[in-house]
Amino acid sequence: MIRFLLKGILRDKQRSLLPVIIVIIGVMLTVFLFCWLKGILNDSVELNARFNAGHVKIMSASYAKNVDQIPNDLALIGVDTLLIRLKKEFPEMKWSQRIHFGGLIDAPDSRGETRTQGPAMGFGIDMLSGDHSEIERFNLEKSLRRGRLPVHSGEILMSEEFSKKLKVNPGDTVTLISSTMNGSMAMYNYTVSGTIVFGTGPMDQGSVIVDLEDVRNALDMNNAAGEIVGYLTDNYYDEEKVGQVVARFKRLFPVTNDEYAPVIVTLRQQNSLGNMIDQIKAVGAFAVFIFVLSMSMVLWNAGLLGGLRRYSEFGIRLAIGEDYSHIYKTMIYESVLIGLMGSFIGTSIGLLGSLYLQYHGLDLSSMMKNATILMPAVFHTRITTTAFFIGFIPGLVSTVIGTMLSGIGIYKRKTAQLFNELEA
């Protein structure tokens, strides 16, 4: 019977085409919205992870207590040995050393005297060792606006907005004025190799990026780092996997009274990111629920109207002797087939659109120019396991329920009414 009903659906376009199209559109929108909201959450989390928090971060105990002050005098020491052990014990993680620093960037004139100055937020990352993971993490190649990336020691990258404010161009020399790990004044000359655009307001206003070893030389931080950030190898924050890493780390490095002993914190424990993640998840779940409910109502009504439009057909079938329950069952079977067809096609289209934006993204940088918090400028979708079946809730369930409700009217048809309809 299923085969017979399927042939009827495929051959009778007037009966099946409109319901299938409605289901396809509703399911496609549901799947795409779900992936879009998941992508916004993931992009917001990963942006903060890439630039600052990591999926986990290792610091000295004292540094962790005063992390907002960037206390490089409390930085981890002997990090090369620590890094070797981390890579051995946690092969599922990728580790990178970083030094955050603040200071003044002084731009001299032709006579070597100060022409302009500006406060800078600095990142010391590995750019010259041959490992390009940090370059990719900061998206430096695509963010480059003028000049080139550093290829020699003593070169610095500046944000495009910051360089224009200081009237500095690639090839010019600038001086970093900061303090060393030991508390003395540090002055170090750099050559501007290029300018970049981060796409986020706070970082574009006054950021510089320097190779890790150059920062160590400038701040007297030999074999030291403010922090070691760790990332899961698939580059997506997973709280369960991170929790396992933290538990193993605490067994390997138990808490002591040593203020320079390494401690670990997760992304959720930094900069109120835990609250941000929970809020975005809650808002996203509520939005998905409302949209799925709305699509369910639309498709429920479509199924209801589809059944009502066929009352004359059902009357004829009853008049020639077909059983009430048989007609009702065939209606439900047809709605199941229509729901499955529409849901499969709608889910496929929604996933294809989401897959494209997952890799290419949607550039909304023009809307983020005046942003005061760290938010991505290019938003991507995120396909998860749930995306493969969430569209079936409105597409299949709601369509069948609507048909079931409309089909109840079949049992109320009277023989006299049927003959009147046939005579008309």
d(Cα 44, Cα 356) in Å, to the nearest integer?
Answer: 19
Residue 249 placed within a domain: no
Largest CA distance in the chain: 107
Q: Could you give the percent of the chain with pLDDT greater than 90? A: 9
- Joined together, the tokens standing for residue 73 give 């005098």
Q: What is the pLDDT of residue 210?
A: 92
Q: Which of 83-87, 109-113, 196-200, 306-310 has the highest mean pLDDT?
A: 83-87
- β-strand pairing of 114-125 with 207-211: parallel
Rounded CA separation 228/95 (Å): 7
* 90 backbone dihedrals φ, ψ, rounded to 5°: -130, 70
The reply to whether 40 and 66 lie within a common domain is: no
pLDDT value at residue 253: 86
Q: What angle do CA 163, 167, 173 make, to 5 degrees?
A: 75
E strands of 70-125, at which residues? 76-77, 93-108, 114-125
Identify the band that residue 282 occupies on the pLDDT scale cut at 50, 70 and 90.
confident
Structural domains counted in the chain:
2
In a shared domain, residues 320 and 415: yes
Q: Is the model more confident about 161 or about 360?
A: 161
Question: In this structure, is residue 77 part of a structural domain?
Answer: yes
Residue 68, pLDDT score:
81
397 domain-assigned: yes
Same domain, 331 and 405: yes
- Residue 263 within a domain: no
Residue 257 binned pLDDT confidence (cut-offs 50, 70, 90): confident
Listed residues 236, 262, 289: the one ending a domain: 236
Q: What is the mean pLDDT of residues 110-121?
A: 84
Q: Do 342 and 389 share a structural domain?
A: yes
Indicate the pairing of strand 227-232 with strand 56-60: antiparallel
Tell whether 348 and 386 lie within a shared domain: yes
Q: Closest Cα to residue 344, out of 396, 403, 293? A: 396
Task: Please say if the pLDDT value at position 201 is more than 60.
Answer: yes
Question: What's the pLDDT tens digit per position in 79-99?
Answer: 889 999 999 989 888 999 999
pLDDT value of residue 373: 43
> In this predicted model, which residue has the larger pLDDT, 320 or 168?
168
Average pLDDT, the chain: 79
Q: Are residues 66 and 17 part of one domain? A: no
What are the φ and ψ backbone dihedral angles of 117, each rounded to 5 degrees? -140, 155
Distance, CA of 283 to CA of 375 (rounded, Å): 17
How do strand 227-232 and strand 93-108 relate by DSSP bridges?
A: antiparallel
Q: Which of 148-162, 278-292, 329-343, 360-374 has the least mean pLDDT?
A: 360-374
For residues 30 and 135, membership in a common domain is answered with no
Q: What is the pLDDT of residues 367-395, one digit of tens each?
A: 545 444 445 556 778 888 888 988 888 77
Specify the pLDDT at position 11.
57
Has residue 250 been placed in a domain? no
338 found inside a domain? yes
Band of residue 131 on the pLDDT scale cut at 50, 70, 90: confident
Tens digit of pLDDT for each residue in 141-187?
A: 888 889 999 998 999 999 988 888 888 999 999 999 988 888 888 88
Give yes or no for a contact between 260 and 73, defined as CB atoms under 8 angstroms apart: no
pTM of the predicted protein model = 0.68
Residue for token digits 């709305």? 294
So what's the pLDDT on residue 156?
Answer: 92
With a CB cutoff of 8 Å and minimum separation 6, the contacts of 145 are 160, 194, 195, 196, 197
384 lies in the same domain as 286: yes
Neighbours of 138 (CB within 10 A): 20
Single residue among 184, 216, 236 that ends a domain in this structure? 236
Answer left, alpha or beta for residue 103, where phi above 0 means left and psi between -120 and 50 means alpha.
Answer: left
Highest-pLDDT range among 17-31, 222-236, 372-386: 222-236
Distance from C-alpha of 367 to C-alpha of 325, rounded to nearest angstrom: 58
What type of residue is 200?
T
Question: Higher confidence at residue 177 or residue 255?
Answer: 177
- Same-domain status, 351 and 373: yes
Listed as own residue / partner, the contacts of 272-276 with beta carbons closer than 8 Å and 24 or more positions apart are 273/45, 273/48, 273/53, 276/44
Considering the domain boundaries, does residue 305 fall inside one?
A: yes
Residue 155 φ/ψ, nearest 5 degrees: -110, 150
DSSP-based three-state secondary structure for 238: coil
Give the per-residue pLDDT at 300.
Answer: 64
The boundaries of the domain holding residue 138 are: 56-236
| Mean pLDDT (whole number) for 292-313 | 64
311, 421 contact by CB (below 8 A): no
Lowest mean pLDDT among 215-219, 258-262, 327-331, 347-351: 327-331
Same domain, yes or no: 147 and 178: yes
Does residue 99 form part of some domain? yes
Tell me the CB-side half-sphere exposure of residue 246, using CA atoms within 13 A: 16
Selected residue with higher pLDDT from 332 and 78: 78
- 191 forms bridges with which residues in the sheet? 155, 173
Share of the chain above pLDDT 70, in %: 79
Residue 243, pLDDT > 90, answer: no
Q: Return the higher-pLDDT residue of 368 and 229.
A: 229
What average pLDDT does range 200-207 have in this prediction?
75
- Write down the pLDDT at residue 372: 41
Choosing from 236, 267, 292, the residue where a domain stops is 236
* pLDDT reading at 365 higher than 70: no
Is the Cβ–Cβ distance between 191 and 171 less than 8 Å?
A: yes
Q: Are residues 150 and 188 in the same domain?
A: yes
Please report, for residues 128, 215, 246, 391, the alpha-carbon distance to residue 397 in angstroms, rounded to integers and kept in the order given: 57, 60, 42, 10
* Interatomic CA distance for residues 347 and 324, integer angstroms: 34
282 and 326 belong to one structural domain: yes
| Coil/strand/helix, residue 190 | strand
Do 402 and 307 contact (CB within 8 A), yes or no? yes
| Residue 353 pLDDT exceeds 60 | yes
Model confidence at 209, pLDDT cuts 50, 70, 90, reads: very high
118-to-6, 115, 203 alpha-carbon distances in Å: 72, 11, 14
pLDDT at 8 over 60: no
